[in-house]
Amino acid sequence: MACEVMAIQEPTQQGLGYYVPEMQSQAQQAVAAMVVGVMIPYDQAMQMMQVQGPVIPPEGLVPGASQNQQWSNTSSPAVSYSSGPYPAHSGGTFASLEEGQWDKTYRRNRPRNQPKAQNAALDKEAALGKEFCDRLDSKLQGGQAEQKAALQEMRGLVWQLSRDALGCRLVQTAIAVASPAAAKEIAGELRGHVREAAASPHANYVLQKVISQLSPASFIFIAEELVGNAARFARHRYGCRIICRLLEYLPSEEKYATIVSLVIDELLSSLSEAQDLCRHNFGHHVAQGILEHGGHWLQRHKDYLAEVLQYDLEGNAMHRSASYLLESALTHCKVEDQKLFLHCLARADVMQRLVGNKFGIFVAKRVLERPEVDEKAFAEHILVEEVMRGTACVRAW
């Protein structure tokens, strides 16, 4: 390298466009000669070396620089080299984000408007966990004295525990082992939280336990809080379960059954609303519950559902969700409605189409199971034995 440097003549400003001040040391001149040896004009070299960001002028003079040179700044923000290697962005710089774009990349830690109040309730909340739940569960499995102590310790924490995977199981156990009065007190702590609990993956089980274990007087508040939002919860993954349990444990007393009836009125408020419910992925479970558990208090709703199914009977029979409902209707609707369904479905052309559909075949099997339907009448059109043998199949599509 030394020989190469000595073989190159010192450039002049007239020859190659470079200027080496005489005041530079020999080391600086050697560096200048090495740069000149590459035979690249200084302006071009600076363009190749330029990065997105302000160019920081050196403390000393370099080849091609003078004290009067104007150092240009780019519009990009300054590059920070102190935080590690360059990020994977063009230009080797941090991505320049306009104001308002930061929320798309990361969430800043903003100070709270009001500091958390450090009180005993929050300290107790922080103490809840697996150890807490296991300890109380062990007490609930013990004698009456231990159960009473555990229930006393759970007081005021039911809603908080219900939203937790472990806590919701603890609350369900407490409802199961507690006396009717104590269980009613536990359920009372869920008042005002029914809508949130119905949409919770954990608390919905607690609501179901309350409905299945307690008397109508103790759980009717659940139906009352669903009024006004029943259509939304009937189509919810977890909320539909709550309405199904209300139908399953429908109170026989008129004052309570009327409140549940108000919930169902919202679901069948119009033809389009009812049709959508029958074909909804979760809503059809609620419609099926109306047919199977409605009782005489909801007979008018059952009759209306039978009418809704008749609007597109064959289409419903071949629908993923409505086919379940039609199978139930062939058993739980009024005899007149069942005969009408059979009259429309038990035809050779319709049965052929049903058997050829992965959902309709289950309705076809239910039709063939009816004693008033002659299987031999369809022997020329469908393989009756194959259809009946498919009873063990599971609708897994």
pTM for this entry? 0.65
The tokens describing 201, both together, are: 């993956």
The tokens describing 43, both together, are: 């302006």
Report how far residue 395's alpha carbon sits from residue 372's, in angstroms, rounded to the nearest whole number: 26
Tokens 């363009």 identify what position? 47
Report the candidate in 252, 177, 263 with the shortest Cα–Cα distance to residue 224: 263
Tokens 């599509």 identify what position? 397
In one letter, which amino acid is 292? E
Q: What is the mean pLDDT of each run of 10 residues along the chain (397 residues)?
A: 44 43 49 48 52 45 40 41 37 39 38 42 52 93 92 95 95 96 96 97 98 96 97 97 96 89 95 96 97 89 96 95 96 94 90 89 90 71 54 40
pLDDT tens-place string over residues 94-103: 333 344 443 4
Tokens 């009613």 identify what position? 184
The tokens describing 273, both together, are: 């609303």
Would you call 108 helix, strand, or coil by DSSP?
Answer: coil
The tokens describing 208, both together, are: 């179901």
Residue pair 267/234 in contact (Cβ under 8 Å)? The answer is: yes
Contacts for 346 with CB less than 8 Å, ≥ 6 apart: 367, 370, 373
Alpha helices (H) in 199-298, listed in sequence order: 203-213, 216-226, 230-234, 239-248, 254-267, 271-279, 283-293
Q: Phi-psi category of 69—alpha, beta or left, where left has phi over 0 and alpha has psi -120 to 50?
A: beta
pLDDT of residue 288: 97
pLDDT of residue 138: 94
What Rg value do the Cα atoms of the chain yield, rounded?
Answer: 39
pLDDT tens-place string over residues 41-75: 555 545 555 544 444 444 444 343 433 434 344 44
pLDDT of residue 216: 94
